[in-house]
Chains A and B, each alone.
Chain A
Amino acid sequence: MSKKNKNAIDYNVDLIQVKNLKKYFNVGKGATLKAVDDVSFSIRKGETLGLVGESGCGKTTCGRTVLGLYSATGGEVLFEGVNIHGLNAQEKRDFTKHAQIIFQDPYASLDPRMTVGDIIAEGIDIHGIYKGQERTDRIYKLLELVGLNKEHASRFPHEFSGGQRQRIGIARALAVEPKFIVCDEPISALDVSIQAQVVNLLIELQEKFGLTYLFIAHDLSMVKHISDRVGVMYLGTMVELAESGELYENPLHPYTQALLSAIPIPDPELEKNRSRIMVEGEVPSPINPKPGCRFAARCKSAMPICSQEGPVLKEVKPKHFVACHLFND
């Protein structure tokens, strides 16, 4: 496709570098919830990094901490080489011009008492980018860009369907011409046919503006479709990271294998003939986690070392990273 234009992925430039990022929440009684625990990855310019995992694995917290919406407990997030967790208030404000977020729930993330035009222009107003007629023109242009029309600017969110609301959320994120957008489960709340529309829109916009995405979702087949690389999180840690084709064809971590085998395939013959790797039980609590590998208690290949020492994410094949003692030789 149009991968060879100027907006193609630049493999030499890391737009975002996350180094040993930690985000702990104090939940009282001396207990700590380790939502994100020592996670490192980088996102290249123009790339989409998918982040998958079950609810409560810390993927949303990770996305928000990368944007600086939460202050990090430890580690750093470098945006074009600058640690965003060391910025002062003014610099932080400027950073929000470059990094935006699309939220999961299109019903809860739009102010019901603001018109769509004002919602979209909020970032423009805060940064004082456009005023008066220019501002109005910009709103109209954004609405067109996401497949709505300018009559919609004076309406209120309740007049729109879920898919349309998500388009408004996308227009709002694009308003300040960001380089980087965190898409936090942007399609989970939508119907299948509408999901396809929104995903197509996101891909189209990426090609047009050279956007970089951190795409968070639990729909694994959609993540594979949109991402260049995919990271799998489990209970606050990154367990595997690889190019999306490689990860889905050749998953190495026992958790990734189980997760992928749980995806239902829309084909009755294939479904009948495949064997499923079931994980028993549920994700344990991230409050005061036990030492060692977080997945050890549910892992079929667990060894004694797994419950003593946490594995480190390392490259076991070119560009394929996994954190598992099975791959320590």
Chain B
Amino acid sequence: MNLFFAVLTPFLGAVLVAWASRFGRSHAAWAAGGVALTALAWLSPLLSQPFAGTTVVQRLEWMPSVGLDLVFRLDGLGLLFAGLILGIGLLVILYARYYLSERDSMGRLYAYLLLFMGSMLGVVLSENLIQLLIFWELTSLSSFLLIAYWREREMARMGARMALAITGAGGLALLGGILLLGEITGSYELSVILASGDLIRGHSLYLPTLILVLLGAFTKSAQFPFHFWLPHAMAAPTPVSAYLHSATMVKAGVFLLARLFPALSGTPEWSWLVGGAGLCTLLLGAVVALFKHDLKGLLAYSTISHLGLITLLFGIATPMAVVAGVFHIINHAIFKASLFMAAGIIDHETGTRDMRRMQGLWQFMPFTATLAMVAAASMAGVPLFNGFLSKEMLFVEASEMASQQSFGWLLPVTVTVAGIFAVAYSLRFIHDVFFGGKPLELPRTPHEPPRWMKVPVEVLVLLCLVVGLFPAQTVAPLLAVAAASTLQTALPEYNLAIWHGFNPALWMSVTALVGGVLLYLVRRPFSLLHDRFEGQLDARRLYNALLQGLMVIARRITALLDVGSLQRMVFVFIGFALLLGWMGWSGDRSVLTGSRPLLPVDAMSLLVTAVLTVISVAVVILHRQRFTALVLVGFVGLVVSLIFVKFSAPDLALTQLLVEVVTVVLLLLALYFLPQHSPVESHPLRRSRDGLLALLVGGGVGALAWAVLTRPHSSIGDFFLANSVSGGGGSNVVNVILVDFRGFDTLGEITVLALAGLAVYALLEKLHISGPSQNADGRDWNWDLHPVIMASFTRLLLPLALLVSVFILLRGHNLPGGGFIAGLVTAVALIMQYLANGVAWTHSRLSANMHPVVGVGLLIATLTGLGSFVFGYPFLTSTFGHMKWPLVGDFELASAMAFDLGVYLVVVGATLLILIHLGLMHGKEPVRGKGGH
């Protein structure tokens, strides 16, 4: 369960932080830090297990009947990533506290950040691949929110959209790959999949599976040709970039490569696809990074390049290359996070990120400059820093590959060229920013940042140094367990040392360092060339064209189907219903009338039905006179509820009556703003066509009802009837179904109702439309707002009506009634006061704020449901008992009644929220009447 709670904590914490931010910026930061530490605390008891060689798998039964469980897994690789996510997450939280300006919402950033943290933990700790995919998509979604944090900026929105489109599409491909993996191995659990590598590689579906999984990994990790979203994602605040684009989000892709390495690697396809993409990305990112003028742009392309490096190592696929890949994941996360943070400090202090404008910042911020230099040296692969170690391992692997393939020499050459560029751009990052003359017209005079803003950078830079100098004493055990769980076999022999003697790799390093310095010195003409062609060779253009094309196609299809005519949509809809109905009838040769004997007809039912039919037809004929049609519809509703009474459905009848009146009030509110007469617009021919269609549909539905009702039919209803008293403790089966048997449905429904109420409120709150000052005949409205007889007598009715609603609520479990009906009665009783006494009078006695009522209602219903957990029963199990009350006598008390109370409150609140705000929509224009005011 620990792993489950570790993943859950950040999600819950996001809510907590959003709330805590009310009390101040530091409170939000403390809360966020506390949440990350709590997640770490959940993990801590298990930390020693991967080092002992065991893989922790924790299972939480979710839907055992369909084989869906929440399964979490902690092994070396997961441990490494969880450490990166939480450790760097903590540093980023500290850093962001000082980075954000006063104008930006602290709570929102931390809430998003924690959502992302939870999603990422979910990805790395999942045992089940489907579950992994869900968290994978959550990282895409939460990173969308984070990138678009400054939502008022066009670039931020564009960048976020692009990142979501690319990674979302990749996620779709990954889903396909995972389903294929499940198809091949018969399980979605990693333990099974990792153990059946030979089966997967030998399967005919191996290649499609591989391609789909790789599409998911490559889009996430910004591999060529999907790399272009990452530079645009730099529109995010820098703490976000430091977190997402160094240690976590983009590493999810390489995590997937590492995770599925035992299952998918070891074939030529794997080597060519993964190695090829990695090599291209490595070179492309390194070259472009040198010419970027934006500080974060340089870092973004450098990130792309380093991700390419890691991918290349997994593509080489020797055990030693995998060790190097895992090692570089650690190193890159450390130095790139610190570089992003340093870039953020520079941006923060100077107000710009353009490297052409800043020089010589050394004199203003020597300390930050020193930190940045160490991190950049690590990025360049200078000896004594951690980046050197893993890059040296890459050079070893590349040079060993050279002798094995016919064009093998290309590999070490390309890698060395990329190394040259890496040195050059690292040098540029340092030299252009901190040295080389005086700064040009900076927006602000820079100085050292606040003390605590530097701490995260210091910690990371210290790690660069310590790992670089003493790898065997520091990082070795973690690397060993992570690499071992990646490979799922024994580790190769290796030695984490700085000095390996004079081997080809050493010469490659020397070449890269010397070549990089030279390249930096002569970069000017190349840079001009790049500026000239910038944006012309860009996959983003392809992406935009593709997006544009899709939009055009989508618009065409929409225009083809939807011409903006309601009649046409209804025609299509009804036409299809008719077609399907006809197909159903024509296929079955049985007779229309079933075997069940008909019930006797009494004269009164016949009479009432006949009147109903006549009035219904009249509604159709008179529908252009809207008010008249509304009055007639009121009668139809009344008769329908009488029919419900006749056929022993009193609950339905009561509900129908109430809904009828609420609808009439609602329609009258709308009618005020509508034209009083609707003109004749349709052609007679068209009307006869519609009439024919209506007759066919009516006849069809009638025939269907006849066929169903004349057949003996047993349904689940009998079960409810038999178990209502024994199982739910109530003799009103309808109510027991609502609050007990199908209580979960009801909870969902009242939630929807509450949301609908809030949505209507949100839409109408600021809306003011002025209604007509005269009626349809041009007569002024009456001067008498609230006739005194109506106003005073209606007040008398309120206590009576409330008494009725309480009565209906209490007896609902056993006799017709219940929370829904009682809620509507109360709502109608209160609306009656608004009608008769006006808004001002009512609001001076009853708070207009219905939000708490809705909220408390939902809370009561949910807590009642959760209460059953306390007693060890599933959600919403109800219990009941009888108690003797003085005076009242035997009184049944069921836990479902508390649930019903919640339903009641939600119904009251939502109904009032909707109707009152519709009523308040009209503008406050002066009343013009005969008497005037």
The judgment on whether A and B are partners is no
A residues adjacent to B (C-beta < 8 A): none
Which B positions have Cβ atoms within 8 angstroms of A? none
